[in-house]
């Protein structure tokens, strides 16, 4: 470990500008361990998933170009993470210009089965967080307690301010100190945060330190330091990296001051080399929070950092080539996922847009080519292919998926900074759902640029099937059928056609709206025989008429000569003529009856009451009538074609 003693002690007074130091300025260096404590078991956490929700696109950039910040807010999705306490996000930064790390700390403000709460300590810490006291802080002490030639075992901050633009280092304004809140079930183990203090146990205010490793000496009798939280997510990896920073020897509280680098360190740049705590804020939604770490495969081509807003800041120089940027996101359960994209600088590139919307190669969302009817002229789709590089882009091939045809081809070369249009349309020669990708092979990459597309070529519906018809009450036709195959376009209407026996013209007798597969037809002559067919319609037009074979529907002849006689109290006997049924010209036979329906009504009333369904007979007895009242009776004949009209009323009879 690099530990340097630099001639900077004379600058300490200049840093402070004579400002009074807080009580945290001189920390008590903990003594040797007096006993060892078992490390705290990590609380159980339930983690459902962290996934890449919206992958970042590959970029092609001219040498030296200024690149807009890349937002990562929608790049990752987290679900199912559970935390037990309040979470504070510390935005830390290892020197000016470095990536901003998200150091998440879960506070012990709630007790769990294996650990007590630290209400005094957490409330005190949150008061400094809420007041913004940790803004522009820096970590002023890191030590291994053994000569400072190895990685630090603890990292201390919370006492000093390195405010941008201020000529001096300042101190955090503190409130009244709090009582020592040490507990055996909250030991100073790896990853915990604890209060710094003087030799007086009840002297902690704003200062804190992280235990980078297990430090059981801080739990010894008379040498106890109160922990009140722990790092979660990727926090321990951040602490481990900071523990390896070089440390310099300065005056006063800066005896082991961590800095980003000692190369070229001077009084002019030392404040830019400090390990900063930029801000500390309470996390409103820890269940979905992530920490971002970013890495470039070749910083000489494209370097990258994460800024305070979580956006990626790319810097490119004059070096031509391709660098891969890997973004690692870690949720608060510690689960992580990576997304990667390439940055091509100063070489032929390919960028595709649909109008003003940028398209990412092989993106999840397909570009719609719309819908078109079979054999119709489809609306074309234009894609603008741009070469943002500084050398010509060779187009070596364009492959279209089945169902897509070329309207305007790309040229074989696109000049540096130039663009050209690729125009395609649905091929309407066949009914189909179109899916796949347009593949553009070019000199920009060994892998073709893929434009996912989707569309549909639809035809007229297939003809309806299984048309079933029957007379209902002798006054209407009840029809149903099996829906048509829509061939890519929703059925919006159907039409019913009838053919009267002895004629040759199918006449439309009903319109049906929407996707309904049944209807009723009124107004046909019950004494005639009819056949029925159905056609269905979508955006391409009407289907052919259904083709179930011509079967004529013939209603039964209405019963006649009904005579009623009294048959004892509350009952009546009925007799009637069994009328000859109509001749079926198709089967060359009479259409047989299947039974009768008997109705009755009290004399002087209009409504008929259904009494019974009976077999094919010519006499029956009606019971259950009210003795002493007068009734009339009516019959309806039934066959496999439905029911006849009701007969004329019988004579009146008193039962």
pLDDT per residue as tens digits for the range 422-473: 999 999 999 999 999 999 999 888 889 999 999 999 999 999 999 988 877 7
CATH number among 2.40.240.10, 2.60.40.10, 3.40.30.10, 3.20.20.70, domain 560-654: 2.60.40.10
Kindly state the DSSP code that residue 651 receives in the 8-state scheme. -
| pLDDT higher than threshold 50 for residue 36 | no
The pLDDT tens digits of the residues spanning 339-355 come to: 999 998 888 878 888 87
Q: Which residues of 552-561 are buried (b: 16+ CB within 10 A; e: fewer)?
A: bbbbbbbbee
Distances (CA, A) of 132 to 101, 146, 173, 277, 305: 18, 34, 11, 11, 25
pLDDT given for residue 79 in this prediction: 87
Nearest C-alpha neighbor of 346 from the set 325, 324, 318: 318
- Predicted structure pTM score: 0.59
- The secondary element (H helix, E strand) that includes residue 452 is strand 445-458
- What percentage of residues in the chain have a pLDDT greater than 70? 90
Tell me what the mean pLDDT of segment 185-212 comes to: 97
Read off the pLDDT band of 3 (50, 70, 90).
very low
- Alpha-helical (H) ranges within 515-613 are none
pLDDT given for residue 582 in this prediction: 66
Q: What's the rounded Cα separation, in Å, for the pair 102 and 91?
A: 5
Nearest C-alpha neighbor of 156 from the set 141, 169, 145: 141
pLDDT given for residue 554 in this prediction: 76
pLDDT given for residue 189 in this prediction: 98
Q: What's the rounded Cα separation, in Å, for the pair 547 and 506?
A: 13
601's tokens = 């009504």
The pLDDT tens digits of the residues spanning 137-160 come to: 999 999 999 888 899 999 999 999
What beta strand segments (E) does 309-444 contain?
312-316, 321-331, 336-345, 351-354, 357-359, 367-373, 381-386, 393-399, 404-408, 413-414, 419-426, 432-442
Residue 167 near residue 313, CB atoms below 8 Å: no
In this structure, what are the phi and psi dihedrals at residue 418, rounded to the nearest 5 degrees? -95, 180
| pLDDT higher than threshold 80 for residue 586 | no
Residue 45 near residue 83, CB atoms below 8 Å: yes
pLDDT given for residue 622 in this prediction: 95
Handedness of CA 215, 216, 217, 221 (dihedral sign): positive
The residue assigned the tokens 């032929």 is 348
Q: Do domains 351-456 and 560-654 have the same CATH topology?
A: yes
Kindly state the DSSP code that residue 159 receives in the 8-state scheme. S
| pLDDT higher than threshold 60 for residue 53 | yes
pLDDT given for residue 119 in this prediction: 97
pLDDT given for residue 426 in this prediction: 96
The pLDDT tens digits of the residues spanning 224-235 come to: 999 999 999 999
Tell me what the mean pLDDT of segment 209-230 comes to: 97
| pLDDT higher than threshold 50 for residue 4 | no
The pLDDT tens digits of the residues spanning 62-92 come to: 888 899 999 998 999 998 888 999 999 999 9
Tell me what the mean pLDDT of segment 300-325 comes to: 93
pLDDT given for residue 537 in this prediction: 94
What is the dihedral angle through the alpha carbons of 560, 564, 567, 570, rounded to the nearest 10 degrees? 110
| pLDDT higher than threshold 50 for residue 27 | no
Total number of residues shown for the chain? 655
The total of other beta-carbon atoms located within 10 Å of residue 166's CB is 13
The pLDDT tens digits of the residues spanning 544-555 come to: 998 876 677 777
419's tokens = 């663009």
The pLDDT tens digits of the residues spanning 375-405 come to: 999 999 999 998 888 889 999 999 999 999 9
Higher-scoring residue by pLDDT: 438, 526: 438
Pairing of strands 3-5, 247-249: parallel
351-456 is classed CATH 3.30.2010.10 = no
Higher-scoring residue by pLDDT: 530, 248: 248
pLDDT given for residue 258 in this prediction: 97
Please give the mean pLDDT across all residues of the chain: 87
| pLDDT higher than threshold 60 for residue 30 | no
pLDDT given for residue 16 in this prediction: 40
Read off the pLDDT band of 11 (50, 70, 90).
very low
pLDDT given for residue 389 in this prediction: 82
Residue 357 near residue 382, CB atoms below 8 Å: no
pLDDT given for residue 352 in this prediction: 86
Q: What's the rounded Cα separation, in Å, for the pair 262 and 245?
A: 10
Task: Tell me if residue 75 falls in helix, strand or coil.
Answer: coil
pLDDT given for residue 589 in this prediction: 56
Read off the pLDDT band of 256 (50, 70, 90).
very high
Long-range contacts at 588-591 (CB < 8 A, ≥ 24 apart): 591/554, 591/556, 591/639, 591/640, 591/641
176's tokens = 């009244």
The pLDDT tens digits of the residues spanning 485-525 come to: 999 899 999 999 998 878 889 999 999 999 999 999 998 88
Homologous superfamily assigned to 3-20+86-290? Cyclophilin-like (2.40.100.10)
Tell me what the mean pLDDT of segment 97-116 comes to: 95
Q: What's the rounded Cα separation, in Å, for the pair 188 and 228?
A: 10
Residue 3 near residue 247, CB atoms below 8 Å: yes
pLDDT given for residue 583 in this prediction: 62
Read off the pLDDT band of 628 (50, 70, 90).
very high
473's tokens = 């009450």
Considering only CA atoms, give the Rg of the chain. 44
Tell me what the mean pLDDT of segment 166-184 comes to: 96
The domain segmentation of the chain, as residue ranges, is 3-20+86-290, 351-456, 465-542, 560-654
Q: What's the rounded Cα separation, in Å, for the pair 498 and 487?
A: 26
Name 396's Cβ contacts closer than 8 Å, sequence gap at least 6: 412, 441, 442, 443
| pLDDT higher than threshold 90 for residue 278 | yes
Q: What's the rounded Cα separation, in Å, for the pair 92 and 95?
A: 9
pLDDT given for residue 311 in this prediction: 94
Task: Tell me if residue 389 falls in helix, strand or coil.
Answer: coil
Q: What's the rounded Cα separation, in Å, for the pair 230 and 332?
A: 12
The total of other beta-carbon atoms located within 10 Å of residue 167's CB is 8
Q: What's the rounded Cα separation, in Å, for the pair 314 and 295?
A: 11
Handedness of CA 229, 230, 231, 237 (dihedral sign): positive
Homologous superfamily assigned to 465-542? Immunoglobulins (2.60.40.10)
Q: What secondary structure, in 3-state letters, does 625-642 show?
A: CCCCCEEEEEEEEEECCE
């Amino acid at each position: 470990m690099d530990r340097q003693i630099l001639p900077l002690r004379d600058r300490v007074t200049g840093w402070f500008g004579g400002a009074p130091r807080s009580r945290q300025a001189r920390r008590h260096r903990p003594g040797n361990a007096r006993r060892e404590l078992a490390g705290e078991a990590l609380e159980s956490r339930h983690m459902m998933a962290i996934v890449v929700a919206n992958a970042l696109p590959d970029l092609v950039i001219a040498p030296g170009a200024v690149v807009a910040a890349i937002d990562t807010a929608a790049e990752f999705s987290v679900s199912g993470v559970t935390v037990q306490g309040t979470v504070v996000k510390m935005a830390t930064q290892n020197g000016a210009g470095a990536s901003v790390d998200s150091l998440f700390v879960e506070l012990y403000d709630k007790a769990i089965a294996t650990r007590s709460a630290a209400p005094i300590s957490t409330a005190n810490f949150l008061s400094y967080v809420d007041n913004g006291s940790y803004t522009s802080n820096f970590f002023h002490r890191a030590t291994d307690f053994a000569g400072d030639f190895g990685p630090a075992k603890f990292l201390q901050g919370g006492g000093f301010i390195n405010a941008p633009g201020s000529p001096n280092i300042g101190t955090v304004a503190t409130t009244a100190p709090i009582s020592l809140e040490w507990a055996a079930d909250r030991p100073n183990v790896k990853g915990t945060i604890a209060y710094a203090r003087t030799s007086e146990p009840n002297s902690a205010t704003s200062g804190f330190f992280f235990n980078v490793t297990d430090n059981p000496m801080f739990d010894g009798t008379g040498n106890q330091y109160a922990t009140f939280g722990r790092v979660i997510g990727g926090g321990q990896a951040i602490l481990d990296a900071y523990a390896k920073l070089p440390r310099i020897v300065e005056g006063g509280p800066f005896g082991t001051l961590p800095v980003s680098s000692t190369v070229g360190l001077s009084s002019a740049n030392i404040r830019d080399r400090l390990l900063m705590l930029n801000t500390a804020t309470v996390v409103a939604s820890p269940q979905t929070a992530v920490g971002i770490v970013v890495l470039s495969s070749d910083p000489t081509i494209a370097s990258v950092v994460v800024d305070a807003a979580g956006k990626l800041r790319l810097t490119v120089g004059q070096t031509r080539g391709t660098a891969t940027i890997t973004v690692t996101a870690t949720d608060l359960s510690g689960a992580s996922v990576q997304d990667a994209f390439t940055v091509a600088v100063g070489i032929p590139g390919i960028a595709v847009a649909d109008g003003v919307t940028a398209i990412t190669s092989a993106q999840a969302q397909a570009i719609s080519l719309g819908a078109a009817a079979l054999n119709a002229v489809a609306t074309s789709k234009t894609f603008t292919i741009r070469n943002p590089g500084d050398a010509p882009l060779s187009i070596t091939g364009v492959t279209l998926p089945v169902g897509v045809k070329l309207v305007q081809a790309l040229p074989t070369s696109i000049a540096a900074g130039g663009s050209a249009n690729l125009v395609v349309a649905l091929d309407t020669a066949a009914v189909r759902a179109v899916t796949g990708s347009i593949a553009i092979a070019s000199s920009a990459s060994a892998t073709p640029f893929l434009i996912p597309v989707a569309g549909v070529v639809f035809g007229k519906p297939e003809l309806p099937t299984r048309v079933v018809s029957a007379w209902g009450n002798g006054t209407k036709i009840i029809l149903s059928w099996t829906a048509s195959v829509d061939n890519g376009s929703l059925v919006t209407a159907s039409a019913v056609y009838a053919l009267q026996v002895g004629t040759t013209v199918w006449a439309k007798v009903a319109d049906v709206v929407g996707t309904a597969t049944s209807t009723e037809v009124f107004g046909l002559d019950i004494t005639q025989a009819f056949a029925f067919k159905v056609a269905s319609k979508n955006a391409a037009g009407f289907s052919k008429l259904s083709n179930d074979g011509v079967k004529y529907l013939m209603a039964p002849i209405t019963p006649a000569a009904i005579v009623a006689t009294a048959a004892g109290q509350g009952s009546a006997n009925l007799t009637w003529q069994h009328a000859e049924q109509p001749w079926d010209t198709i089967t060359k036979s009479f259409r047989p009856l299947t039974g009768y329906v008997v109705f009755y009504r009290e004399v002087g009333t209009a409504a008929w009451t259904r009494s019974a369904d009976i077999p094919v007979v010519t006499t029956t007895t009606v019971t259950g009538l009210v003795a002493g009242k007068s009734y009339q009776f009516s019959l309806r004949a039934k066959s496999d074609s439905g029911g006849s009209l009701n007969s004329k009323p019988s004579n009146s009879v008193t039962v």
